[in-house]
A = this chain, B = another copy of it.
Amino acid sequence: MIHQDMDPASARPEAGLKAFEALCTVKSNTSANDDYRLLVLEAPKHILNCQPGQFFHLLCPVTDQQQPYLRRPMSIYRFDADKGELAFLYKVAGEGTAAMATLKPGELFNVLGPLGVGYTIKPEWQNLLLVARGVGLATLAPLAQEAARLGRKLTAICSARSEAALLSTEHFRSLGAQVISVTDEDGSSSVENLQTLIEGLIGSQGVDAFYTCGSNRLLKLLQELGAKHNIPGEIALEQQMACGLGMCQCCVRPFSQNGEVVHLRVCKEGPVFDLQEAMGW
């Protein structure tokens, strides 16, 4: 068996290498709210040259109870090369994430990355609108950070089941973003309400680009609004992965490019894709 703490040869950054298998040390692994957990790792600097929207492929531990085999893809929630820190916000969904939840401070954790293509912020995009739901916000957190670094104005519409399930709004606010929370609980997360809200923003402050992830409903809405108002956008998508590196072709999804359907790999050409090329599901 391949071991969690087998020393990955390429932990040494060699010339020309872009992704690294590295052993990190768990700093903390705590519950962020009812649904999500936050894993903070001490990570070697050379793996922290990350772009917002990229992901890592995680080798979850094997225990008596959980025996995950494949790695699990997880968006970067936070990375800090100076502090040597890497964090993931995750939901316990099945065997692999349940195993992740057992990690204790001081334990070693094998990660592979950074992987994939992240979000773009074109120079001319000054007013960014981010619309996301649930754990999708995790993917977008580093984007907010990058927007702050570049001095762009960011508005984040955070959608969740309930006020209590809202995640990261504080994090977004601390990065100087304008945060609008909507919930199922009070009905404010409905498509109609969102449409009104977003068109309001387009009218009032102007929107140069949309960013979203994961939800078919949000994809459709933003595609319509983007087409109508001629606003470009990007979406992060998910798909089952094996290699995470572009080799196995298991993670393809169909996209519409110039009227033709192409199959692109979420791990390699994605996970972030052009909003208008994405196809609903």
Contacts and interface: CB of A to CB of B under 8 A. Distances in A.
Interface stretch (A56-64, A147-155, A191-199): A56-64
Report how many copies the assembly holds. 2
A248 B61 CA distance: 33
Contacts of A170: none
B62 A63 contact: yes
A5 interface: yes
Nearest to A67: B1
Contact of A62 (B3, B4, B5, B67): B67
A87 B1 CA distance: 30
Contacts of A64: 1, 3-5, 61-62
Tell me the dominant secondary structure on chain A's binding face. Answer: loop
Contacts of A3: 64-65
A224 B61 CA distance: 55
Nearest to A61: B64
Interface string A56-90: 00000111110100000000000000000000000
Residue with the greatest number of chain B CB neighbours at <10 A, chosen from A3, A61, A64, A67: A64
Interface in A26-84: 61-65, 67
Interface string A1-22: 1011100000000000000000
A3 B67 CA distance: 10
Nearest to A108: B64
A108 to B, nearest CB: 9
A106 to B, nearest CB: 15
A121 to B, nearest CB: 39
A65 B67 CA distance: 12
Nearest to A1: B67
Contacts of A62: 62-64, 67
A177 to B, nearest CB: 40
A3 B63 CA distance: 9
A63 B1 CA distance: 11
Contacts of A5: 64-65
Contacts of A67: 1, 62
Contacts of A4: 64-65
A266 to B, nearest CB: 28
A73 to B, nearest CB: 20
Interface of A: 1, 3-5, 61-65, 67
Q: Which A-B residue pairs are the 5 nearest by beta carbons?
A: A4-B64, A62-B64, A3-B64, A3-B65, A1-B67
Given A1-B64, A4-B65, A62-B64, 7 more contacts: A3-B64, A4-B64, A5-B64, A62-B62, A62-B63, A62-B67, A63-B63
9 contacts: A1-B67, A3-B65, A4-B64, A4-B65, A5-B65, A61-B64, A62-B62, A62-B64, A63-B63
